Amino acid sequence: MASYYTHIALFVFSALIALAITPLVEKIAVKLGAVDIPDERKVHGKPVPRLGGLTIFLTIFLGIIAYLVWQLTHQSFNFRLLLNANYDLLGIFIGSSMMFVFGCLDDIFDVSPGFKFLGQLLSASVVVIFGTTIDFIGSPGGGLINIPSWLGIFITIFWIVGLTNTVNFIDGLDGLAAGVVSIAGVALYVSAIQTGKVNMAVIMVVLCGALLGFLRYNFNPAKIFMGDSGSMFLGFLIGSLTVQAATKSAATIALLVPIVIMGVPIFDAGWAIWRRFINKKPLTKADKEHIHHRLMRQGFSQRRTVLVIYAWSA
């Protein structure tokens, strides 16, 4: 496994890249018309660029490339062997890239919820096709229970799509989604180190560095939003990687980390779906009943609300 010094260098590299390119991404977003216009439901008072996912995606990509270059120059490196050993990760990269593209389309063109959901299903299906599925779960007695392949595929897609939308739902205040995902990333990094999952550890280091650099511009008052290109990409990546980790260990352990860290957002997303269902409203219809909206109605500022949810997540 790469040394902690390598991880620190990757973290700093990713944070600096995100800091450097976000102002450029702001200009690109404005030029493409990817701007969030305030309305009665939103809490910001002026138009804000919303293509911040481009910063996160490019930074993670460049961070991983930097790590591969480091391996090439410091260790014996066989690209074909690496590809064969990480075929499932290639699927996650392709699926996550597809999810990023669908998110960009929404940031720029405001596509329909149905189109986004179709994109989520297609992207998750790519991950499954490349071999990332849940094949067994841990039993209360400590053993493993094999499950039918069709059920494993269903659970995998449900989990990835569910986490994608969970992160998308919490992206309602400046810095909220970026901070919560960062906390989840730190927890997943620790878990990866403890279980010897080298690739997940590296990806989490790069992800956390990217989000830290991005938060410089995304925390209240935000100069740029991550948009669906960021929130759906991040949720999809976390969901896919936890499933990939679960294929090599007890699924209950790998999947518990994001459930615990993002317990509040997951509950909030589930409650939002149930609330709209019982009120006979479209599941995609936004409202102001999310936890962060309720906290702000109690007199909390945006910053304080975000920090409270950070604390709950940690």
Can you give the pLDDT of all 314 residues of the chain as single tens digits? Answer: 568 899 999 999 999 999 999 999 999 999 999 999 876 656 666 899 999 999 999 999 999 999 988 887 876 656 565 666 578 889 999 999 999 999 999 999 999 999 999 999 999 999 999 999 988 776 666 667 788 999 999 999 999 999 999 999 889 899 999 999 999 999 999 988 988 888 899 999 999 999 999 999 999 999 999 999 999 999 999 999 988 877 655 555 556 777 777 777 888 888 888 888 888 887 777 777 788 888 888 888 889 999 999 998 87
Residue in the block written with tokens 């997940």: 200
Is 271 a member of any domain?
no
Task: Answer yes or no: are the C-beta atoms of 231 and 163 closer than 8 Å.
Answer: no
Task: Answer yes or no: are the C-beta atoms of 67 and 10 closer than 8 Å.
Answer: yes
Is 265 a member of any domain?
no
Domain containing residue 218: 4-259
Is 46 a member of any domain?
yes
Is 286 a member of any domain?
no
Task: Answer yes or no: are the C-beta atoms of 216 and 225 closer than 8 Å.
Answer: no
Is 99 a member of any domain?
yes
Q: What is the pTM of this model?
A: 0.91
Residue 190 CB contacts under 8 Å (≥ 6 apart), including other chains: none
Is 145 a member of any domain?
yes
Is 312 a member of any domain?
no
Residue 121: HSE in the Cβ half-sphere, 13 Å Cα cutoff: 7
Is 235 a member of any domain?
yes
Task: Answer yes or no: are the C-beta atoms of 183 and 309 closer than 8 Å.
Answer: no
Cis peptide before 221 (omega within 30 of 0): yes
Number of folded domains that form the chain:
1
Task: Answer yes or no: are the C-beta atoms of 17 and 67 closer than 8 Å.
Answer: no
Burial label, 30 (beta-carbon count in 10 A; 0-12, 13-18, 19+): middle
